[in-house]
Amino acid sequence: MSAAEDTLERQDQLQGIGCSRKRKEDPRFIQGKGNYVDDVKLPGMLCGAIVRSPFAHAKIVSINKEKALALPGVHAVITADDLKPLGLHWMPTLAGDTQAVLADEKVAFQQQEVAMVVADDRYIAADGAELVEVEYEVLPALVDPHKAMDDDAPIIRDDLVGKDEAGQGKRTHNNHIFTWDVGDKDATDRAFDNAEVTVREEILNPRVHPSPLETCGCVASFDKINGALTVYITSQAPHIVRTVITLLSGIAESKVRVISPDIGGGFGNKVGVYPGYVVAIVSSIVLGRPVKWIESRIDNISTTAFARDYHGIGELAADKNGVIKALRFSALADHGAFNAHAQPTKWPAGLFSICTGSYDIPVAYARVDGVYTNKAPGGVAYRCSFRVTEAVYLIERMIDVLAQKLDIDKAEIRRRNFIKAEQFPYQSALGWEYDSGNYLPALEKVLEACDYEGLRKEQAEKRAKGELMGIGLCTFTEIVGAGPSKACDVLGVGMFDSCEIRVHPTGSAIARMGTITQGQGHQTTYAQIIASELGLSSDDIQIEEGDTDTAPYGLGTYGSRSTPVGGAATAMAARTIRAKAQKIAAHLLEVSPDDVEWDVDRFQVKGNPDAVKTMKEVAWAAYNNVPEGMEMGLETVNYYDPPNFTYPFGIYLCVVDIDRHTGETSIRRFYALDDCGNRINPMIIEGQIHGGLNEAFAVAMGQLISFDEDGNLQGNSLMDYFIPTFVETPHWETDYTVTPSPHHPLGAKGVAESPHVGGIPCFSNAVIDAFAHKGVTHVNMPHTAFNVWKTIHQLGLDN
């Protein structure tokens, strides 16, 4: 065997970075041995059921608990009045607002939490909840965000009357939460005034819900003897939950243990702290018994964490050649009854300012006004980085609108506006420094793979026959990996993340992270990083997450931040260990540390391939034979504060055929090229892209949380709320290029959200493109058969 072959073989054995390692999580899941929150059963455990408001806006006249309390097996009925003496009837939100834990004198959205019945089991709890009698005096409901700041609008938040601030800056109306703006308004306005061409369009991201298959829930267990609280919880950010619990309850953080066990999907739904958690915890403290609370699907869709609800107007200014000169945007953000959106605390519109996208736009201005309405609170990043879906939807729709106005091909207009490879690192007009990108070759790769010219030709032929075929393009740039702590924090905690690695004497290791997997395969991929960095087999590396008693503090998993931040922490921790190992190896080899070099899984004396110490040998020595003055052991913890975000990009192409009689859209082809920098596990990346595309498909083609004018929620079960099945879901084609991040230790960027963020505008662009020859530049999501048919019918194309 040659030296090169030997190296390759040793590399393969590690199953490190770049290999499609099979997942370590799978054996338990395929045998029904996952451990999700609802699987947790503790001795003496009680169950909670929430009594919810049937009305969107109403005063609570009275609550009568007697019948419920009389039911055998009911232990407590908790209302706001019970929480008041504890100061727990309101709680802080991540966005600086406060939210009623249980409705305090009034309800402000339908299904709001009014009381919790705690009983022996879920059957009795449900019976008890039916017996709690609540009398309401119904108030006029405010549903339309455009009417929120009318003079005569109903006041949603009586508690804020007279206050000119609600946690995120000045407000100007009782239902106003904040104004956020970014960019040079005057210069932008001037650019529009002087532009050869301008376009303007409504850019609407309707209210949707992430709906992971597992709903939210928790088991709270308070140990009265030790004053210690353990909470099993469906959380994407268990450490933040621990801090919030301490801030709320006053229990020392060292006595609060939060465990996120297996999580059945998150997609942003499981970032926030919800009233159900808080009441279950209080119940456990009061009753001294474990209390479980698990949402129903209807509760989940109705109350915990909607996404989007951005009602905007987008504008582009350009020259006659389609070169963009300026971008302008304004939006109303409907935050519901409490400002509980899950964003870095100082970012009321998240990272929306990424909205200049992949294009070299000299000047831009964006403004978002948050308003209260009688709807559930939330505003989470549904499989995206904070408000990045909204931002990408804006620019990717508007560039199509501009192309149509100027009759420029939709691929060509992108070519003309792309940031060029040599411009990186690129300073965007709205303040970001894009780390790396190479858009044009990626676009050409996709166009060629799909025979774009051929598709356009076919489209022209179909149009001549009256058939509807659309080609959608989306060439997006994301911003993920929050984030540099100087820019991002959650409740004052910087958005670093962490990894602790311990290498055991016999050369296996355990690593613990501040992130938490919800299906992304962290147990598999983090081990690959460590394997490559330390030369230990992946199979000998255990990854643990989610238990705040053992894992180092971390901000959790959302916004595609695990690889950019947690992965970086892992690499950095491993490198610290390797640096120490190098000294030990040199000591064992009796040379200077500078005289040894790393070779896959071992240190070798430079120029002497026979003088080697494997990492396993070094690990053993770390516990019995270290250089003079060195501490024993081989472990470290790294808290990684990234210098910048990462900026993955993608080029997507979608071909649709629309049935002009029924409005049904069939996805003939969806081709997704993603560039997430260096790739750790291609199999998992591909799986993430498939899943993200499917969620994009769901949002673009059918998802909608809708209300009537009285604030009654419509379609809050899976009968109506669109989750595509095997039958509706299209086939996905994936591709990639690699443009490493220059600042990430592994050159990696994060990927799971790109397909959602980039997929949604791609579907929309395809559907709208099908009508482009009829002068249509825009229709709103979701593109249900009914909605598409309305366009068809209006244009008379169904005759």
Q: Which of residues 253-272 bind another protein (CB under 8 A)?
A: 262-265, 267
**Catalytic residue list contains 295:** no
Q: How far is the CB of 710 from another protein (least distance, A)?
A: 5
Our finding on whether 140 is near another protein (CB under 8 A) is: no
Catalytic residue, candidates 328, 383, 397, 660: 383
Please pick, from the candidates 133, 196, 451, 453, the single residue that binds another protein as defined by CB under 8 A: 133
The order of strands in the sheet holding 649-658 is: 468-477, 649-658, 665-675, 733-736
315 is catalytic: no
Query: In this complex, which beta carbon is closest to another protein, that of residue 120 or of residue 189?
Result: 120
The CB-of-657 to another protein minimum distance in angstroms stands at 16
Structural contact between residues 613 and 602, judged by C-beta atoms closer than 8 angstroms:
yes
* Binding-site member from 417, 518, 737, 754 for another protein (CB under 8 A): 518
**Region 60-89 residues binding another protein, contact defined as CB under 8 A:** none
Catalytic one of 19, 216, 384, 474: 384
- Residue from 8, 9, 12, 29 touching another protein (CB under 8 A): that is 29
Q: Any contact of residue 379 with another protein (CB under 8 A)?
A: no
Residues 721-740 that bind another protein (CB under 8 A): 722-729, 731-732
Q: Which of residues 452-481 bind another protein (CB under 8 A)?
A: none
Output Rg (C-alpha) for the chain, integer angstroms: 28
269-298: which residues touch another protein (CB under 8 A)? Answer: 296-298
Clarify whether 753 is annotated catalytic: yes
d(CA 362, CA 317): 11
Residues 142-161 touching another protein, rule: CB under 8 A, are 143-144
Q: Taking CB under 8 A as the criterion, which residues in 200-229 touch another protein?
A: 201-202, 204, 206-207, 211-215
The burial class, CB within 10 Å (0-12 / 13-18 / 19+), for 256 is buried
Nearer to another protein, 127 or 547 (CB): 127
Residue type for position 394: L
The rounded distance, in Å, linking the Cα atoms of 657 and 436 is 35
What CA–CA distances, in Å, run from 426 to 423, 614, 644, 673?
A: 5, 42, 12, 22
Distance CA(397)–CA(596), nearest Å, equals 55
Amino acid at 477: T
Q: Is 79 left (phi over 0), alpha (psi -120 to 50) or beta?
A: beta
Compare residues 390 and 533 and give the one whose CB is closer to another protein. 390
Q: Provide the 3-class DSSP secondary structure of residue 692.
A: helix
CA distance 174 to 21: 55
What contacts 798, CB < 8 A, 6 or more positions away?
A: 660, 661, 789, 792
Q: Give the nearer residue to another protein in terms of CB position, either 63 or 555.
A: 63
Helix (H) or strand (E) holding 735: strand 733-736
The count of chain residues that interact with another protein, using the rule CB under 8 A, is: 119
Rounded to the nearest 10 degrees, how much is the dihedral formed by the CA atoms of 652, 653, 657, 658? 50
384 labelled catalytic: yes
For 573, other C-beta atoms within 10 Å of its C-beta total 27
Considering only residues 90, 136, 232, 418, which one is a binding residue for another protein as defined by CB under 8 A? Answer: 136
Q: Which of residues 422-451 bind another protein (CB under 8 A)?
A: none
Interface pattern 658-687 for another protein (x via CB under 8 A): ---xxxx------------------xx-xx
Comparison of 38 and 545: residue with beta carbon closer to another protein: 38
> In the complex with another protein, which residue's Cβ is closer, 506 or 666?
666
Restricting to residues 758-777, which ones interact with another protein according to CB under 8 A? 771, 774-777
Residue (of 186, 253, 479) closest to 354 by Cα position: 479
211 with 723: CB under 8 angstroms?
Answer: yes
Q: Which residue numbers are catalytic?
A: 236, 383-384, 753
